[in-house]
A and B are shown apart, each in its own frame.
Chain A
Amino acid sequence: MATPNSPLWEVFIRSRNGLAHKHVGSLHAADATLALQAARDIYTRRGEGLSIWVVPSSAITASDPAEKGMMFEPAESKIYRHPTFYDVPEEVGHM
């Protein structure tokens, strides 16, 4: 008999206070409580985290990589959005 599929969760860990939670991987668990416990065992065996988020993978909406040109290209052509675009004379010092 085929083993029934269990829900997939994405795991995010905050490594130190002040840093954002970062995606570290995914796991299977029947519910959120078990997902948190499994995340602790799988992703923090060496003190990697101070806080864990688990999110059902099905709750994530992702952009389509095939449309990355349309999504991100407009930002690439706007170099005037970066501070290095502007010339400030050296005498002015750090700005």
Chain B
Amino acid sequence: MYTQALNTSDADDRNVEDAARAAAFQARIDVDERIEPNDWMPAAYRKTLTRQISQHAHSEIVGMLPEGNWITRAPTLRRKAALLAKVQDECGHGLYLYAAAETLGTSREELVDAMLAGKAKYSSIFNYPTLTWADIGTIGWLVDGAAIMNQIPLCRCSYGPYARAMIRVCKEESFHQRQGFEIMLMLCRGTDEQKAMAQDALNRWWWPVLMMFGPPDKVSQHSDTSTKWKIKRFSNDELRQKFVDATVPQAQFLGLTIPDPEMKQDEAGYWVPGPIDWEEFKQVLAGNGPCNRDRLAARRKAHDEGAWVRAAAAAYAEKRKRRQFAQAAE
């Protein structure tokens, strides 16, 4: 489950709203009331959440691809069963999230079509390839770890259906991170070659994972609105810092080196990373990452190849309905 850089909102739309209703809405949020689907909400709140939740859902679904890549090649039956269960969970998470997004008034089909048309974003992290088995360990340990950091505060998000979906997701996500860490631990306690494989995976994933938290606070746009609406409860940099502080000791335990020679611990004990290459982040978001085209092509292929199944199920349901009506009429 993976969110990132979703703290953009449509503050401009708010001026056209009824001021009294908008004030009442904000008052409900301020006292931590949950907003439910049929409640009045500003158009910009609806739009921001539809975008954020659907991007989150797309990320879950696209996130199945890099990991699915290793299901048939998992080193043992135990690992294969665990990976299969994890990928299945990602699919489930995508579906909970589409269901939450739909309550805002856009159908799942429309949301999926927007993603397939390349009009909707998903987390940039899934545009990186999974080259070795150690990548599967690293994704569980770091990508899911970062996702958990992002998602725990979302369990208290002001929009009820999103918060409830996040609670389910967070419960399931902790298995993902632990199985990833276990893979890394096995590799790090293995041969020199295995340990080198773990280090290589960490080297490739570390920076993209830090980018998952989105642009630094000083350039992040519209974050204020999402904070005011209690969609976002911590800033990108705060969450990134929490993640780094939690992860450094875990890497030390594994005996791996974080690929950041400039990282140091400050006097208060926080680990301060070196500068992040935001140009790379921009490029991947713009569609120029290593796997952007592959991922979209794989999603489109799956969708197209499933078209006859959807059509057959709909035709069968229609036929049964007609037969029932005919019987009732007799």
Judged by a CB distance under 8 angstroms, whether B149 is at the interface is no
Set B92, B107, B112: member contacting A45, Cβ < 8 A: B92
Q: How far is the CA of A8 from the CA of B100 in the complex (A)?
A: 12
Judged by a CB distance under 8 angstroms, whether B78 is at the interface is no
Judged by a CB distance under 8 angstroms, whether A95 is at the interface is no
Interface pair B95/A3, CB less than 8 Å apart: no
Interface pair A25/B36, CB less than 8 Å apart: no
Q: How far is the CA of A8 from the CA of B103 in the complex (A)?
A: 11
A30 with B102, Cβ < 8 A, contacts A2-B110, A62-B38, A65-B38 known: no
Interface pair A27/B99, CB less than 8 Å apart: yes
Interface pair B92/A25, CB less than 8 Å apart: no
Judged by a CB distance under 8 angstroms, whether A42 is at the interface is yes
Q: How far is the CA of A2 from the CA of B316 in the complex (A)?
A: 20
Judged by a CB distance under 8 angstroms, whether B270 is at the interface is no
Q: B89-111 CB contact bits vs A (8 Å, 1 = yes)? A: 10010011001001000011110
Interface pair B109/A27, CB less than 8 Å apart: no
A-B CB pair tally, cutoff 8 Å: 58
| Nearest Cβ on chain B to A92's Cβ, whole angstroms | 40
Q: B292-330 CB contact bits vs A (8 Å, 1 = yes)? A: 000000000001000000100110110010000000000
| Nearest Cβ on chain A to B143's Cβ, whole angstroms | 21
Judged by a CB distance under 8 angstroms, whether B278 is at the interface is no
Set B102, B113, B313: member contacting A34, Cβ < 8 A: B313
Contacts of B36 in A (CB 8 A): 65
Judged by a CB distance under 8 angstroms, whether B64 is at the interface is no
Judged by a CB distance under 8 angstroms, whether B12 is at the interface is no
Interface pair A27/B38, CB less than 8 Å apart: no
Interface pair B109/A2, CB less than 8 Å apart: yes
Q: How far is the CA of A30 from the CA of B314 in the complex (A)?
A: 5
CB-based nearest A residue for B88: A45
| Nearest Cβ on chain B to A83's Cβ, whole angstroms | 28
Q: A22-46 CB contact bits vs B (8 Å, 1 = yes)? A: 0001111111001000000110011
CB-based nearest A residue for B93: A42
Judged by a CB distance under 8 angstroms, whether A58 is at the interface is no
Which interface residue of A30, A62, A66 has the most chain B CB atoms within 10 A?
A30
Contacts of B110 in A (CB 8 A): 2
Judged by a CB distance under 8 angstroms, whether A47 is at the interface is no
Judged by a CB distance under 8 angstroms, whether A64 is at the interface is yes
Judged by a CB distance under 8 angstroms, whether B279 is at the interface is no
Which interface residue of A2, A8, A42 has the most chain B CB atoms within 10 A?
A42
Contacts of B142 in A (CB 8 A): none
Interface pair B96/A6, CB less than 8 Å apart: no
Interface pair A3/B112, CB less than 8 Å apart: yes
Contacts of B113 in A (CB 8 A): 2-3
Contacts of B39 in A (CB 8 A): 65
Binding site for B on A (CB under 8 A): 2-8, 25-31, 34, 41-42, 45-46, 62, 64-66
Query: Could you name 10 residue pairs across A and B whose Cβ atoms are closer than 8 Å?
Result: A3-B303, A4-B109, A25-B96, A25-B165, A26-B99, A30-B317, A31-B317, A34-B313, A45-B92, A65-B39
Known: A42-B96, A64-B38, A65-B38. 5 other contacts (CB 8 A): A6-B313, A31-B317, A45-B85, A62-B38, A65-B36
